[in-house]
Amino acid sequence: MRTKEEIAPSGETLVHEAPRIRLMTDQAVDEAEQFAPGASEQSVAMPIEDGKVVFELQSLSCYYGSFRAVKEISLRVPHNQITAVIGPSGCGKSTLLRSFNRMNDLIDGARITGQILYHGVDLYADGVDPVEVRRRIGMVFQKPNPFPKSIYDNVAFGPRVAGFRGRMGELVEESLRRAALWDEVKDKLKSPGTELSGGQQQRLCIARAIAVEPDVILMDEPCSSLDPIATLKIEELMHELKQNYTIVIVTHNMQQAARASDLTAFLTMGPDRAGYLVEMAPTQKLFTSPDNRLTEDYITGRFG
Amino acid sequence: MTDITATSNVSAEIVRARISGRRMDIGGRIFEGLLLLALALSLAVLLTLLVDVVSRGIGVYAERGIDVITAPLSSDPAKAGIGQGLFGSIALMLIVAATAFPIGIGAAIYLEEYARDTTFTRFVTANIRNLAGVPSIVYGLLGLAVFVVALRAITGPESQGRSILAGGLTLAILVLPIVIITTSEALRAVPSGIREAAYGVGATRWQTVRSHVIPYAAPGILTGTILSMARAFGETAPLIMVGGAVSFLNTGDRGLVETLQGKYTTVPTSIFQWVQEPRREFIELSAAGIIALLVTILLVNGLAIILRNRYARKW
């Protein structure tokens, strides 16, 4: 099995291919140091040690038409860590996550105010192509959604549309291996992805996401339709993947956030039903000695 | 420990007494009876029609065999057949398939996959649904004004515009709303999760639509278009408006353009003409024609059902 670096190291490749972005990244990191966290009164951004910030949200609000689903969130997502977003149903966790790779662009009437900087580059600036953004920031969805095509074609679709010209068979195998699915499907690559079990389908979706060598993987409640054993497998897989990828996971399962993540952001809803950030901290700290009363109430099960 | 068995025996007695008995659900029974009556009535009407048509028409087939299907129009009922009608109907279907399908499927893909959800697109969609319910005679009037009169130079100067081309285009407009609606529904049946999955790995809209949405919706689109074809095959009223010929028809050796611009008849128009004849033989001939028409439509609908069942996808 080849290492990831031999194929195409995602983060590095991205930077090599796009020196412009690299310049802006360094610049942005410097700026980020000066950036004062907590732009809005509710938001408490999280200081990040030894530097590399992948996402920096500056007073981000998300709207659907006139409804504000997410209110003035400022936070930073560090490189090659698992950042969990928890909070009660309907507090805008998914909306927040989907704004990271401009998936909300597909919904009529969705818009944002504020900024999302990705390696220091404003994702919503003029001239940014959402298709290119999604190639670098992959996504795994709540419900496993394999294409009704063969397992092979499921994984190969992303590289194909990205114009991949190398050995597709090797890339497919490598992606399936990294998604810890290869041994289960290597003899039936031509059979439909939809015939796998739920947990296998979700790992296939992860293989599909990493086949395009993204920089970040966004996971929107990836285990909500899986049984505990399949959930555990996905969590182990996330732990493996974080060596190469930055992972942001939305979950309404607090135990999952506590088990699987390095950092946790807790969102809740205001009276106007807009979600806001209550607290973001290293997971251990947030679950043992939260600063905010609302966080404590939520993690001890007193509400939500 | 208490005797559990004895206790449960006693309670079983009580429970049995409580849950036994038959309720007199009179209202429910009456309602069930009315529903059955409604079904029986509709079946009886259909069956009467079928038996009547078959009993009148079957004799013609017994007497003349395949000749009824192949023979041209004639004033002699013993020689007349639906041969030219079948040729005309099939030619019309080809024109419908070549025009209404690409335009209708294209319009539906635009509406479902590309157009933003605005008041305007909702207005357009609602109007397309209304158009599907407009009586076919109205499309006949439209076809008369546009294809027969206004575009006569194209549709057929020789035949005064009463040509295969004019009839086919009229039917194409008639089925266009149906094609758009069924295609839209097939596209909408593709879960949004599939689109998100494609966009999520960096596919463009065109790549998503071409590689996923259209292939997965194709069986539904195919079924819908075939059914709209069956609808067009049986249409009569608009063709009478735009002039399907009803008597002698010279269809000698003609080129493609002359054929398209030439006069024609269809199976339904032939039948319509024959039932107006006073002679009993023509009535029987029309029954024979109806049998052929019904069998054709049954075959087409059956094909649609087979395709739907074979390629039906569960999400």
Q: B180 to chain A, minimum CA–CA distance in Å?
A: 22
List the single range of A9-13, A235-239, B8-12, B234-238 with lowest mean pLDDT: A9-13
Note down the domain range covering B107: 67-311
Residue A150 gets which letter from DSSP?
Answer: B
pLDDT of residue A128: 94
Residues B248, B99 share a domain? yes
Whether B84 contacts B292, CB under 8 Å:
no
Residues B192, B83 share a domain? yes
Q: Is A278 an 8 Å CB contact of chain B? A: no
pLDDT of residue B247: 56
pLDDT of residue B279: 87
Residue A131: how many CB atoms within 10 A of its CB? 16
What predicted TM-score, i.e. pTM, was given to this entire model? 0.80
Q: What confidence tier does B246 reach under pLDDT thresholds 50, 70, 90?
A: low
pLDDT of residue B259: 78
Number of domains chain B contains: 2
Which chain A residues are within 8 Å of B197, Cβ to Cβ? Answer: 141, 145-147, 205, 208
pLDDT of residue A21: 38
Q: What average pLDDT score do residues B174-182 get?
A: 95
Q: What residues have CB less than 8 Å from A64, skipping those under 6 apart?
A: A95, A107, A109, A110
Q: Do A139 and B212 touch (CB under 8 A)?
A: no
Q: What confidence tier does B310 reach under pLDDT thresholds 50, 70, 90?
A: confident
List the single range of A107-121, B202-216, B240-254 with lowest mean pLDDT: B240-254
Residues B177, B147 share a domain? yes
Residues B167, B220 share a domain? yes
Residues B106, B83 share a domain? yes
Residues B46, B154 share a domain? no
Nearest to A161 among B117, B195, B202 (CB): B202
Residues B292, B144 share a domain? yes
The CATH number covering residue B115 comes to 1.10.3720.10
Residues B123, B191 share a domain? yes
ipTM value > 0.95: no
Residue where one domain finishes, among candidates B58, B75, B90: B58
pLDDT, tens only, B79-122: 888 888 888 899 899 999 999 999 999 999 999 999 988 899 99
pLDDT of residue B95: 93
pLDDT, tens only, A188-231: 999 999 999 999 999 999 999 999 999 999 999 999 888 888 89
pLDDT of residue A22: 36
CA angle (A140 as vertex; A192, A46 as ends), nearest 5: 165
- HEC readout, A28-49: HHHHHHHCCCCCCCCCCCCCCC
Q: What confidence tier does B164 reach under pLDDT thresholds 50, 70, 90?
A: confident
List the single range of A8-22, A243-257, B7-21, B63-77 with lowest mean pLDDT: A8-22
Q: What average pLDDT score do residues A93-112 get?
A: 92
Q: What confidence tier does B66 reach under pLDDT thresholds 50, 70, 90?
A: confident
Residues B235, B109 share a domain? yes
3-state SS class at A122 = strand
Q: Do B201 and A141 touch (CB under 8 A)?
A: no
Q: What average pLDDT score do residues B294-313 get?
A: 86
Nearest residue to A241 (alpha-carbon basis) of A29, A75, A11: A11
Q: Is A59 an 8 Å CB contact of chain B? A: no
Whether A152 contacts A181, CB under 8 Å:
no
Residue where one domain finishes, among candidates B58, B75, B97: B58
Residue where one domain finishes, among candidates B24, B41, B58: B58
Residues B244, B204 share a domain? yes
Residues B175, B155 share a domain? yes
Q: Do A108 and B117 touch (CB under 8 A)?
A: yes
Q: Identify which has the larger pLDDT, B87 or A3.
A: B87
Residues B44, B164 share a domain? no
Q: pLDDT at residue A290 above 50?
A: yes
Q: A148 to chain B, minimum CA–CA distance in Å?
A: 8
pLDDT of residue B242: 83
Q: Is A224 an 8 Å CB contact of chain B? A: no
pLDDT of residue B21: 79
